[in-house]
Amino acid sequence: MVGCEICGKEAGQGKKIRTDGCEMIVCEDCASFGIQVKEKRNQDSSSKSFSGKGMSAFSQSHLVDDYGKRIRQAREKQGWTLEDLGKKVFEKSSYVHRVEAQQIKPSDKLAKKLEDCLGISLGKTGSREENDFEAVRGEEKGITLWDIAKKKKGEEE
């Protein structure tokens, strides 16, 4: 049994409503004070995977295996604490610690910030496809659809 968050009386199972941007469980009488929120079914936890903020599968496969060790060694070489590094890359120190401990993988954006800030490389080098596209483009700004089209056209000729 749940108590109504508006009037306080017992609400039985209660109804979940949204009012003024807040969700609350209320009794049948108070349900008219807001919009009823439909319950979302929970996904099976085995199908969920956490890989860090915005991390793409492409980037995960190109991240070096010892990225945490590289980050920690470079940070210590600079004489910085986790808090110092967190401030420099605009992340919480606890998040930076989890990346450094390899509990999570950094996003593309964070990996780039860490590389620039610490002067290290976190990506695997020598990917044939990546090097082919860099040769076509002549710079490191990422692969575009135009690059792919030019590469394919060059292969056909």
pLDDT, tens digit (0-9, with 9 covering 90-100), for 51-86: 444 444 335 568 888 999 999 999 999 999 999 999
Amino acid occupying residue 116: D
Residue recorded with tokens 């599968």? 57
Alpha helices in the chain (DSSP H): 57-61, 67-78, 82-89, 93-100, 108-118, 128-137, 145-156
Query: Which two structure tokens, joined as six digits, stand for 94?
Result: 């606890």
Query: Which domains occur in the chain, in start order?
Result: 1-38 (no CATH), 57-118 (1.10.260.40)
Alpha carbon distance 115, 109 (integer Å) = 10
Residue 18's closest CA among 5, 32, 2, 37?
37
Give the position of tokens 């976190």: 122
Number of helices followed by number of strands (H, E) in the chain: 7, 3
| C-alpha dist (Å) from residue 19 to 16, 41, 99, 131 | 10, 22, 38, 55
Digitized pLDDT (tens) for each residue of the chain, 157 residues in all: 678 888 888 878 888 888 877 888 888 888 888 888 876 655 444 434 444 444 443 355 688 889 999 999 999 999 999 999 999 999 999 999 999 999 999 988 999 899 999 999 988 764 444 444 444 444 455 677 777 777 777 665 5
CA angle 112, 114, 117 (to 5 degrees): 105
Contact between 70 and 115 (Cβ < 8 Å):
no
Helix (H, G, I), strand (E, B) or coil at 77: helix
Distance of CA 11 to the CA centre of its chain: 38
